[in-house]
C-alpha cells in the first residue's frame, strides 16, 4: 500500500507539471492579445480556485465505484428508496441484533456538488446524521446506518442527498458482533495519539484494557526548534513529550497508567529493524540509540530493558512479554491494507511474530485506519457526524465490520483527549490557514473549535469503525 501511495503521489505531481506546461502558452497568448496585467490576475484567480476546489489529495476518480467485500455469511438485503427518500426493506425481516448496518448505494453528484461537498442526510431531527462524499461523486458508496435499525424496521428512515442524488435501489449489509469492550482488550498504538484517534470510545468503556505505544514519534520536530533547540534536542524533547502523553492521556478515559506501556522505539525505523533483526537502529533525528530513556514510567520490566537496544528482536520480545502478561482476547491495531504508514504496517507484522514467540493467541483483531492511501480527508465532512466506509478502489480482504456508537459526552471527552496530545497542538502553517479561509468562503467547509489539527475534524465522530478479523486467518 505504501508503494502504491508513492506511485499515486508521483502521478499527481506529474499531472500538475503537465498542467503548468499546457497553461503557459495560454497565459502568453492572453498577454499577447490583452495586456501585461492579465497574467498576474489570471495566476491569482487560478491559485484561489486551486486552493478552494482542487487541493484535496484525491488519488482516484470520483466516478470509481467503491469495492468493499464482506464474508460470504454476511446478511444482505435489497432495499428500495421511494421519491421521499424513505428506505423500505422490501418485505425482508431485518435481524433484531444487528449492531452495524451499511448501505451500498449509487450516488451521483449534482452540478453544485462539484464545488460544494455533496453529502447525504440520514434520518431527521436531533438524531440526524450527515455523511460527506467526494465532489463530483458518481458511483457506488457505502453509507453507515448503524444505530438506525428501529427507524429502518418501521419504514421511517429517510435519506436525503444535498448536492447529490441517491439511487433508488440499494443493498443493506447487516453485521452482528459481541460487545468487544466487555473482553480483555489491548490497543496497539504505533505513535502516542493513535489509540485516542482510533479507539478512545472503545478503550474508555472497556472493562479490562491495556494500551501499548511502540514508537516515540520524535521526528518532524520543527515546532520545538523555535525554543532555541538544536535539531537533535528538539526531536528528543518531542519524543519525551509524546511518551509522557502515552501514559497520562489514557487516564482521561479511565485507563490507569499501570496498564499503559511505552516501548520507546524510533519513528520510521521499524521497517529497517525487521530487515536486520539484530541490528540497532537509532533515531533519525535525535541520534539517540537507547530506548530506556523514555521507559521510566512503565510499571513492568520488559526484555529490552536489559540493553535498551532498538532492534526488531527486542521489539518482538517486548510484545511477546506483554501478550503473556495482559493475555488480551481482542487486539486493536492498524489495518494492514488500508493504512499505509510504514510504522502502522510494521506494528501488525511485529504482533504476529510476538504471538508465535509468546504462545498466547488472542481471538480477534479489530483493525482501524488513521491514514489512507488515496484520500487524506476521510472521514470527509464536519466533525461530530458519522463515518461512511472509506474509499476502496482495490479490493480488500472480506472482513466483518463493527461500528461503535459514541454519545455526545464521549465525543466531548475524546476531543479533549486529543487536545492533551502535544503533537496535535502545533499551530497551522500560514499556507494551510489561508487555504482554510478560502475554503470557508468559497466551499462552505467548516472546522471544529476544539483544535486546529485536521484530526479534530476526522477523528471526533459519532462512530468508531473497526474491521473484524480473526487471528486464525
pLDDT at site 22: 66
**Whether 82 and 140 share a structural domain:** yes
- The last residue of one of the domains, among 175, 197, 213, is 175
Number of domains in the chain: 3
Q: Is the peptide bond before 101 cis (omega within 30 degrees of 0)?
A: no
Residue 473 is predicted with a pLDDT of 59
- Looking at residue 377, which CATH number applies to its domain? 3.40.50.10320
For residue 65, being part of any structural domain is answered with: no
Please report whether residue 187 resides in a domain. yes
Let me know if residue 123 belongs to a domain.
yes
Reading the block at residue 119, the C-alpha cell is 453529502
In this structure, the answer to whether residues 106 and 217 fall within a common structural domain is no
Q: Do residues 35 and 105 share a domain?
A: no
CB 299 within 8 A of CB 212: no
- Per-residue pLDDT, 54: 86
Which tens digit of pLDDT belongs to each residue from 384-404? 999 999 999 988 999 999 999
Question: pLDDT value at position 121?
Answer: 98
- Domain membership of residue 229 (yes or no) is yes
Q: Give the model's pLDDT for residue 12.
A: 59
Cα 299 to chain centroid distance, Å, stands at 30
- 246 shares a domain with 356: yes
Shared domain check, 119 and 219: no
Q: What is the pLDDT of residue 363?
A: 96
263 Cβ contact partners less than 8 Å away, ≥ 6 residues apart: 212, 213, 214, 215, 291, 295, 302, 304, 315, 318
| Same-domain check for residues 380 and 235 | yes
Based on the fold, state whether residues 15 and 127 are members of the same structural domain.
no
Say whether both 202 and 253 belong to one domain.
yes
What is the pTM (predicted TM-score) of this model?
0.92
Which of 227, 87, 201 is CA-nearest to residue 145? 87
361-389 burial string, b = 16+ CB within 10 Å, else e?
Answer: ebebbbbbbbbbbbbebbbbbbbbbbbbb
Q: Do 16 and 158 have their domain in common?
A: no
Q: In what order do the strands lie in the sheet with 364-368?
A: 260-265, 208-215, 184-189, 330-334, 364-368, 463-470, 400-405
Instruction: Please tell me the distance from the alpha carbon of residue 47 to that of residue 44, in angstroms, as a whole number.
Output: 5
Q: How far apart (Å, rounded) are the C-alpha atoms in residues 203 and 36?
A: 62
192 lies in the same domain as 166: no
Residue 30's pLDDT is what?
59
Range of the domain at 11: 2-54
Using alpha carbons only, give the angle 122, 123, 124 rounded to the nearest 5 degrees.
125
Tens place of pLDDT for every residue, the chain, 473 residues?
Answer: 445 555 656 665 676 667 666 666 765 665 655 555 666 777 788 888 888 998 888 888 899 999 999 999 999 999 999 988 998 887 667 888 899 999 999 999 999 999 999 999 999 988 899 999 999 999 999 999 999 999 998 889 999 999 999 999 999 999 999 999 999 999 999 999 999 999 999 999 999 999 999 999 999 999 999 999 999 999 999 999 999 999 999 999 999 999 999 999 999 999 999 999 999 999 999 999 999 999 999 999 999 999 999 999 999 999 999 999 999 999 999 999 999 899 999 999 999 999 999 999 999 999 999 999 889 899 999 999 999 999 999 889 999 999 999 999 999 999 999 999 999 999 999 999 999 999 999 999 999 999 999 999 999 999 999 999 999 75
Note whether 12 and 100 are same-domain residues.
no
Decide if 60 is inside a domain.
no
Say which CATH number the domain at 139 has.
Answer: 2.60.120
In a domain, 70, yes or no: no
Amino acid at each position: 500500500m505504501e508503494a502504491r501511495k508513492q506511485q499515486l503521489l508521483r502521478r499527481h505531481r506529474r499531472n500538475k507539471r503537465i498542467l503548468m506546461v499546457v497553461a503557459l502558452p495560454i497565459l502568453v497568448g492572453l498577454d499577447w492579445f490583452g495586456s501585461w496585467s492579465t497574467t498576474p490576475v489570471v495566476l491569482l484567480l487560478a491559485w484561489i480556485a486551486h486552493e478552494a476546489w482542487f487541493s484535496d489529495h484525491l488519488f482516484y476518480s470520483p466516478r470509481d465505484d467503491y469495492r468493499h467485500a464482506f464474508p460470504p455469511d454476511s446478511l444482505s438485503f435489497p432495499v428500495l428508496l421511494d421519491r421521499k427518500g424513505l428506505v423500505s426493506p422490501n418485505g425482508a425481516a431485518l435481524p433484531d441484533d444487528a449492531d452495524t448496518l451499511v448501505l451500498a448505494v449509487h450516488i451521483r453528484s449534482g452540478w453544485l456538488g462539484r464545488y460544494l461537498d455533496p453529502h447525504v442526510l440520514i434520518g431527521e431531527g436531533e438524531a440526524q446524521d450527515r455523511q460527506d462524499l467526494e465532489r463530483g461523486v458518481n458511483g457506488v458508496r457505502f453509507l453507515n446506518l448503524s444505530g438506525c435499525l428501529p427507524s429502518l424496521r418501521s419504514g421511517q428512515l429517510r435519506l436525503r442527498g444535498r448536492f447529490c442524488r441517491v439511487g433508488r435501489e440499494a443493498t443493506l449489509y447487516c453485521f452482528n458482533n459481541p460487545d468487544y469492550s466487555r473482553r480483555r482488550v489491548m490497543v496497539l498504538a504505533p505513535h502516542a495519539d493513535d489509540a485516542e484517534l482510533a479507539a478512545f470510545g472503545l478503550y474508555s468503556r472497556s472493562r479490562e484494557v491495556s494500551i501499548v505505544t511502540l514508537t516515540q514519534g520524535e521526528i518532524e520536530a520543527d515546532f520545538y526548534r523555535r525554543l532555541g533547540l538544536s535539531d537533535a534536542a528538539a526531536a528528543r524533547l518531542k519524543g519525551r513529550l509524546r511518551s509522557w502523553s502515552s501514559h497520562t492521556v489514557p487516564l482521561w478515559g479511565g485507563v490507569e497508567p499501570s496498564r499503559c506501556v511505552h516501548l520507546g522505539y524510533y519513528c520510521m525505523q521499524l521497517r529497517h529493524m525487521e530487515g536486520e533483526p539484530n541490528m540497532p537502529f537509532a533515531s533519525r533525528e535525535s541520534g539517540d540509540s537507547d530506548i530506556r530513556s523514555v521507559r521510566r514510567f512503565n510499571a513492568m520490566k520488559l526484555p529490552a530493558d536489559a540493553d535498551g537496544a532498538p532492534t526488531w528482536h527486542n521489539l518482538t520480545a517486548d510484545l511477546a512479554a506483554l501478550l503473556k502478561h495482559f493475555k488480551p482476547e481482542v487486539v486493536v491495531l492498524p489495518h494492514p491494507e488500508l493504512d499505509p504508514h510504514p510504522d502502522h504496517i510494521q506494528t501488525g507484522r511485529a504482533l504476529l511474530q510476538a504471538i508465535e514467540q509468546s504462545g498466547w493467541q488472542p481471538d480477534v483483531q479489530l483493525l482501524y485506519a488513521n491514514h489512507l492511501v488515496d484520500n487524506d480527508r476521510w472521514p470527509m465532512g464536519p466533525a461530530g457526524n458519522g463515518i461512511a466506509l472509506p474509499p476502496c478502489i482495490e479490493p480488500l480482504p472480506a472482513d466483518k465490520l463493527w461500528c461503535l456508537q459514541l454519545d455526545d459526552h464521549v465525543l466531548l471527552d475524546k476531543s479533549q483527549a486529543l487536545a492533551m496530545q502535544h503533537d496535535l497542538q502545533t499551530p497551522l502553517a500560514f499556507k494551510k490557514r489561508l487555504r482554510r479561509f478560502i475554503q470557508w468562503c468559497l466551499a462552505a467547509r467548516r472546522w471544529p473549535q476544539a483544535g486546529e489539527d485536521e484530526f479534530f475534524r476526522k477523528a471526533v465522530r459519532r462512530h468508531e469503525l473497526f474491521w473484524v478479523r480473526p487471528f486464525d486467518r
